[in-house]
Amino acid sequence: MDIANSTSIGKHWAAIRNGVAVAVIPMTVPKDVDFEEYRRRALSTLELLGEVKTGEVLDDYGQRCFVKRPNHANRSTTPKPLTVFPIFQPSDVYQAGGAI
């Protein structure tokens, strides 16, 4: 995936499990929604599935990935490489109750 030339889908929270973003929830909400309540519920939902990270979803011609947002210490002139997680895509044959 070419991160430099991909399109940003926006800021999201993601549940990371075994190096894969198993679920993502966007951070943007309509103005009539209480953002703090939305945030609290979104994070608690994602915590059920894995470790919650903040970042950006990128799209490169249909191939999507989650890029973890670097912390302030990494926003320097020589930053660490970005952490990229593929977004889980269910197979053509979906089996309920299986391990992800």
Residue 81 is predicted with a pLDDT of 78
Q: What pTM did the predictor assign? A: 0.78
Amino acid, res. 54: T
Residue 74 is predicted with a pLDDT of 57
What tens-digit pLDDT sequence spans the chain (100 residues)? 777 888 999 999 999 999 999 999 999 999 999 999 999 999 999 999 999 999 999 998 888 899 998 776 656 677 677 888 999 877 655 556 655 5
The three state secondary structure string of the chain is: CCHHHCEEEEEEEEEEECCEEEEEEECCCCCCCCHHHHHHHHHHHHHCCCEEEEEEEEEECCEEEEEECCCHHHCCCCCCCCCEEEECCCCCCCCCCCCC
